[in-house]
Copies of this chain bind each other. A is one copy, B any other.
Amino acid sequence: MRVAVIGATGYSGIELLRILTQHPEVSLEYLTSDSYVGKKASEVYPHLKRVVDEVLRPVDPDAIAAAAELTFIGLPAGLSTALVPELLARGCKVIDIGGDYRLPGELYKQWYGKEPGPADVQGQAVYGLPETSRDRIRGANWITNPGCFPTAANLALLPLLAHRLIDPKSIIIDAKSGVSGAGRGANLGTHFSEVNENFKAYKVGTHQHTPEIEQCLSQVAGELVTVTFTPHLAPMTRGILATVYASLTQMGAGATEALLALYDDFYRKHPFVRVRPIGNLPMTKEVAGSNYCDIGLQVDTRTGRVVVVSVIDNVVKGAAGQAIQNMNLMSGFPETMGLTLSPLYP
């Protein structure tokens, strides 16, 4: 499959390159960059020497559609609204890692503060979370790839909501992310001396991933789900850990074991979700560099709440890896092709 990567020098972009170069069915045909047109990818990123020596080119829909059957887009918010329709119109399949088409236009405008793209393009987008939408992804030409926080949070909650085991108004998501989630832009918020040996919360109650989480959970629950979502910045480069709290609607002896059995069953057919045994909670390092989402849980019998902990690598299962998983499904490749990467530990 001939593939293009738009935004190849962002963190999602170089992670796509890292993984796609190992994919047996993919050839990289067109890489773009705003800042480095005309340079080789390996001149911008010396770590790519002998790995990706292709030249970076400008964004040109005609040239992209001529070169590639499928395009991955990894651009900052607001920059793919216009580009996606142009590529689709030229018959190129699209997987957009950014958030421009994940929400209905009105919600997008409200939470992102930007103008939405065309409603019909938005309406045709398939939300690319394989664990809820595998069949729709299989037939799709156009995927809006889930956000990093929604991936971690929703995989933690799906079994509970699908089985109606929790009060859908009781959900609190306390998420912690590494700094790479903020992209490569240099500002005080990503300055080493300001982040190292530091921990903070941000965008409390206002993060743009909130409605995306609620939209996905509401569909699974079959009723409106509203959540409190608080993102935090941890002094590390990669990884998201989401600690999710919800009130159980019923609870008996052995509730933790029972819920774990239910999670095991729910995720049996999903190759990238691994459920931990009782007493074992996942850490972010245990999925670093891989496409896995690991989940553990514990019932707090004193308060009737369940505490679910999920971890992902934000640039893999939270971005580039999940996009490739979607490409595999769209293209009829095995879902895990090119993605059987072991986590890098320690």
> Which A positions have Cβ atoms within 8 angstroms of B?
11, 14, 17-18, 21-22, 45-52, 169, 172, 174, 176, 178-180, 184, 186-188, 190-202, 204-205, 226-228, 230, 232, 234-239, 241, 243, 245, 271, 274, 276, 280-290, 292, 294, 298-303, 305, 307, 309, 311, 340-346
Q: Is the CB of B186 within 8 A of A298?
A: no
CB-CB < 8 A to A243: which residues of B? 174, 201, 230, 232
Q: Is the CB of A285 within 8 A of B46?
A: no
Q: What's the Cα separation between A202 and B192 when bound, in Å?
A: 17
Given A234-B199, A289-B344, is A193 in contact with B179 using a C-beta cutoff of 8 Å? yes
Cα-based distance from A228 to B311 in the complex (angstroms): 20
| Interface pairs A-B: 8 shortest CB-CB | A198-B285, A200-B283, A47-B286, A205-B300, A193-B346, A47-B343, A174-B174, A204-B298
Partner of A46, one of B188, B194, B198, B286: B286
Residues of B close to A14: CB separation below 8 A = 345
Determine how close the nearest CB of chain B comes to the CB of A201; give it in whole angstroms.
Answer: 5
User: Are A298 and B22 in contact, CB atoms less than 8 angstroms apart?
Assistant: no
- CB pair B342–A46 under 8 Å, yes or no, is no
B-side contacts of A236, CB under 8 Å? 196-199, 235
CB-based contact B192/A184 at 8 Å:
no
Whether A201 contacts B46 by the Cβ 8 Å rule is no
The answer to whether B237 touches A234 (Cβ under 8 A) is no
Contacts of A274 in B (CB 8 A): 46, 49-50
Q: Please tell me which one of the listed residues B21, B48, B342 contacts residue A47 in the complex, with CB atoms under 8 A apart.
A: B342
Given the known interface contacts A176-B176, A193-B11, A228-B303, the answer about A200 and B284 at a Cβ–Cβ threshold of 8 Å is yes
A232 to B186, CA, bound (A): 21
Contacts of A192 in B (CB 8 A): 179, 190-192, 195-196, 235, 237
Q: Nearest B residue to A206 by beta-carbon distance?
A: B298
Q: Could you tell me the distance in whole angstroms from the C-beta of A26 to the nearest C-beta in chain B?
A: 14
**Chain B residues in 8 Å Cβ range of A346:** 11, 180, 184, 193-194, 196, 237-238
Known A-B contacts A172-B245, A184-B188, A241-B199; the reply to A46 vs B344 at CB < 8 A is no
Q: How many Å lie between the Cα of A202 and that of B296 in the bound state?
A: 11
Interface core residue of A21, A232, A271, A274 (most chain B CB under 10 Å): A232
Cβ contacts under 8 Å, A190 to chain B: 186, 191-193
Q: Which residues of B contact A180 (CB under 8 A)?
A: 193, 346
Q: A46-B286, A193-B346, A194-B346 are in contact. Are A232 and B11 (CB under 8 A)?
A: no
Chain B, Cβ-Cβ closest to A17: B342
Q: A46-B294, A47-B288 are in contact. List 9 more A-B contacts (CB 8 A).
A: A46-B280, A179-B196, A186-B190, A192-B195, A196-B235, A196-B236, A200-B241, A204-B309, A226-B302
Select A303's contact among B227, B234, B239, B302, beta carbons within 8 Å. B227
Q: Are B284 and A199 in contact (CB under 8 A)?
A: yes
Q: A47-B343, A286-B47 are in contact. Are A202 and B245 (CB under 8 A)?
A: no
Task: State in angstroms the CA–CA spacing of A172 and B170 once bound together.
Answer: 11
Whole-angstrom CA separation of A344 from B226 in the bound complex: 37
Shortest A166–chain B CB gap in Å is 14
Q: For residue A303, which residues in chain B have a CB less than 8 angstroms away from its CB?
A: 169, 226-228
Q: For the complex, what is the distance from the CA of A280 to the CA of B43, rounded to whole Å? A: 10
